[in-house]
Amino acid sequence: AFREMIDAFVAQKHALGYPYQDSERILNVFDKFCHKHYRQKKVLTRDIGLHWAIRWNSEGRGGHRNRVMVIREFAKFLKSIGQEAFIIPIELTRKPARIVPHIYTQDELHAFFKVIDSLKYCSSSPARHLGCPVYFRLLYCCGLRPAEARQLLVKNFDLDKGIITIIESKGHKDRIVVLQPDVLALCVKYHALVSKIFPVRKYFFPNQNGT
């Protein structure tokens, strides 16, 4: 029942210049959740909101808060266009504790990449053993954020010039990352091998389905 309004909400975010990819994914999960549990409901009620706000066993604080905040924003959107909607109280979710980064030692780095480089071919995910070594080296050598690397498209790479274009990064800004020669060589070799598995692919690091 909320599909049309979800689409309108996402369209508004896109019109304002927000990529909204992760939030759109959460909204799609919410749509399926409502279809399963509240198929007859056409209003975002208190029951729906409080049920959605229950923390899942698989969630950390950050994931739970993010999931709740997206639906809070959706409820505010519904109210802004004159529809009734329950806004989940912010008190039902807490900010995750600040994480102190761990600085890896050289021994830890060697051990980590040794494991990554020893991944075997898996028929259910035929490009994983090729992608992981390159993915994690991009994070380490180029300072990419995990989501930035995960969402890279093939068209974001200029392997002739050795550059990556990061689109809509933090603060909705684009930036250029220059690849060092050894990392570039890895990317070129990886791209050639994965192209044999998924000849037509959108993402540089495809999942098991090539998407």
As to burial, measured by CB atoms within 10 angstroms (0-12 exposed, 13-18 middle, 19+ buried), residue 178 is: exposed
Query: What is the C-alpha separation between 204 and 211, in angstroms, rounded?
Result: 9
Q: Are 151 and 139 in contact (CB under 8 A)?
A: no
158 vs 91: CA distance, rounded Å: 46
Burial class (CB in 10 A: 0-12, 13-18, 19+), 154: middle
pLDDT digits (tens, 9 = 90+) for 46-95: 999 999 999 999 888 888 999 999 999 999 999 999 999 999 999 988 88
Predicted local distance difference test score (pLDDT) of residue 131: 96
Distance CA 69, CA 75 (A): 10
Q: Residue 204's CB: how many other CB atoms inside 10 A?
A: 23
Which pLDDT does position 7 carry in this prediction? 96
Q: Which phi and psi angles does 95 have, rounded to 5°?
A: -65, 140
Q: How far apart are the first and last CA of the chain?
A: 28
Does the pTM exceed 0.75? no
Three-class DSSP category at 165: strand
Mean pLDDT across the chain: 92
Burial status of residue 148 (CB atoms within 10 A of its CB: 0-12, 13-18, 19 or more): buried
Residues 153-178: what's their mean pLDDT?
A: 87
| Res 122 pLDDT > 70 | yes
Q: Are 64 and 31 in contact (CB under 8 A)?
A: no
Average of per-residue pLDDT across 2-11: 95
